Amino acid sequence: MRYLTFALAKGRLAKTSLELFEKIGISCDEIKSDTRKLIFVNEELKLKFFLAKASDVPTYVEYGAADIGIVGKDTILEEKKNLYEVLDLGFGKCRMIVAGQDKMKDIIDEGSSIRVATKYPNIAKDYFYNKKNQKVEIIKLNGSIELAPLVGLSEVIVDIVETGTTLKDNGLVILEEICPLSARMVVNRVSMKMEIDRISNIIKGLRELQL
Ligand code: PRP
């Protein structure tokens, strides 16, 4: 039997994913230990796990370096890789939104030319260019996106909101909703055919947990 390899997005999603896997009998104790190791193996079940930066998970899965990935819908939409999205895992729920200072409400409605700061340029482009048919300038940042309208880098931001605390603490409000987000399971296209039984069992197990 060949190894089935899982790529997990580092951080909160990985922890909850591992808890779900444990509930369906897939465990990997080694991954919980305090180590700098990158790959963890369950020899008995012939499984391998690795933690990767969220934005890299779809790449590992598209190329088949991982058969299965657990990653947020935001990353899937942004990275636009060729893979199967097979399951909404129902956790890590948040929203992709447009936010800014309250006074931007009118300006954004007028359809004026504005600057949009975001970690998600593809999602922002798709939303403004294709859905709203609005010409905007997209500025790519890598974190602390809420800073941009506060220091005059952009009029609005496209970002994730979970509790709303970061927006509130910085005097920003949600101007528009783009889409709901949550953790998803993605599968490499070839693995889906070659390992259909093992992968289907995992999907079935995870689905039953949601009932
Ligand atoms: C994310 C997101 C928001 C914040 C939203 O940032 O970009 O800044 O969380 O969460 P809240 O609505 O619960 O306040 P993250 O913590 O990933 O850090 P980053 O700013 O470096 O991207």
**Cα distances (Å, whole numbers) of residue 83 to 39, 107, 134, 175:** 22, 38, 30, 32
Residues 158 and 196 in one domain: no
Please give the number of the atom of ligand 1 that sits closest to the Cα of 169. Answer: 14
Residues 81 and 108 in one domain: no
What is the average pLDDT across 158-162?
A: 98
Q: State the pLDDT at residue 101.
A: 97
Residues 111 and 172 in one domain: yes
What is the average pLDDT across 24-33?
A: 85
Q: What's the domain range around 101?
A: 94-180
Residues 9 and 52 in one domain: yes
Sequence-ordered list of residues with C-beta below 8 angstroms from that of 34, at least 6 positions apart, any chain: none
Residues 162 and 189 in one domain: no
For residue range 76-93, list pLDDT tens digits in order. 999 999 999 999 999 999
Residues 141 and 200 in one domain: no
CA of 172 to the centre of ligand 1 (A): 13
In this prediction the pTM is: 0.94
Residues 105 and 164 in one domain: yes
Q: What is the count of structural domains for the chain?
A: 2
Residues 167 and 119 in one domain: yes
Residues 142 and 205 in one domain: no
Whether residue 158 has its Cβ less than 6 Å from ligand 1: no
Phi-psi region of 37 (alpha: psi -120 to 50; beta: other; left: phi over 0): beta
CA of 148 to the centre of ligand 1 (A): 13
